[in-house]
Chain A
Amino acid sequence: GAVVSQHPSWVICKSGTSVKIECRSLDFQATTMFWYRQFPKQSLMLMATSNEGSKATYEQGVEKDKFLINHASLTLSTLTVTSAHPEDSSFYICSARGTYDYEQYFGPGTRLTVT
């Protein structure tokens, strides 16, 4: 089956620093990748959708200058949280979908803690 990996699985950083999270599709070409954020006991919240080679489409209320998304290849997308603050602490999950696929395949998630 389709496998999506995320790295790192958890990260602790200091307030004001930037953190990069990688999302890779290991055995298929992901034409579309999605980035979600999930706070404790809450549902998934879509942050942005990115198609390979084009700019990401951000959901309302998500700051594109703070959450930089790059989908430069069919197997890799990155999310960079810039100038992180404690309120950015959350579980970040990516998912990927192939060109002719109806299913989104989720990565294992990255738990970010900003101190």
Chain B
Amino acid sequence: GQNIDQPTEMTATEGAIVQINCTYQTSGFNGLFWYQQHAGEAPTFLSYNVLDGLEEKGRFSSFLSRSKGYSYLLLKELQMKDSASYLCAVRDSNYQLIWGAGTKLIIKP
């Protein structure tokens, strides 16, 4: 079966750095996405990785290792507004997005 694992909840301090991990087992791989979702709102796109390595975009970076079936989202200089759920999703061989359950990130002052 297809499976995406990410921690249910994480807590971090304002100004700090946090890494949210995602491991996946899917039938084929055509890219990995990270989305941010604030409570009561739709997801918004953060990053896309299809090749191994690190993609940096401002305070957010995303890393992919296809051989390990592993990705992480790195958030630097955390702000209170970063409190949200972070969803990892993998596009499989049928170009369907398989979603993780999301990681709720709580930022404390």
What residues of chain A have their CB less than 8 Å away from a CB belonging to chain B?
A: 34, 42-46, 49, 91, 93, 102-109, 111
State whether A107 and B42 are in contact (beta carbons under 8 Å apart), knowing that A49-B96, A102-B31 are contacts in the complex.
yes
30 contacts between A and B (CB under 8 A): A43-B99, A43-B100, A43-B101, A44-B43, A44-B87, A44-B99, A46-B96, A46-B99, A49-B96, A91-B40, A93-B43, A102-B31, A102-B48, A102-B50, A102-B91, A103-B33, A103-B48, A104-B45, A104-B97, A105-B45, A106-B35, A106-B42, A106-B43, A106-B45, A107-B42, A108-B42, A109-B40, A109-B41, A109-B42, A111-B40
What size tier do the contact residues of chain B reach? 10 to 19
User: In the complex the two chains form, is B99's CB within 8 Å of A103's CB?
Assistant: no
- A107-B42, A109-B42 known; A43+B102 contact, CB < 8 A: yes
**Chain B contacts of A106 at CB under 8 A?**
35, 42-45
Smallest CB separation, A107 vs chain B (Å): 6
Q: Residues of B at under 8 Å CB distance from A?
A: 31, 33, 35, 40-45, 48, 50, 87, 91, 96-97, 99-102
Q: Given A43-B87, A44-B87, A102-B31, are A93 and B97 neighbors across the interface (CB < 8 Å)? A: no
A56 to B101 alpha-carbon distance, docked (Å): 24
The closest CB in chain B to the CB of A45 belongs to B99
Of chain B, the residue at the smallest CB distance from A109 is B42
In the complex, what distance in Å separates the CA atom of A107 from the CA atom of B44?
Answer: 9
Query: A55 CA to B35 CA in the complex, in Å?
Result: 28
Which of chain B's residues have a CB closer than 8 A to the CB of A104? 45, 97
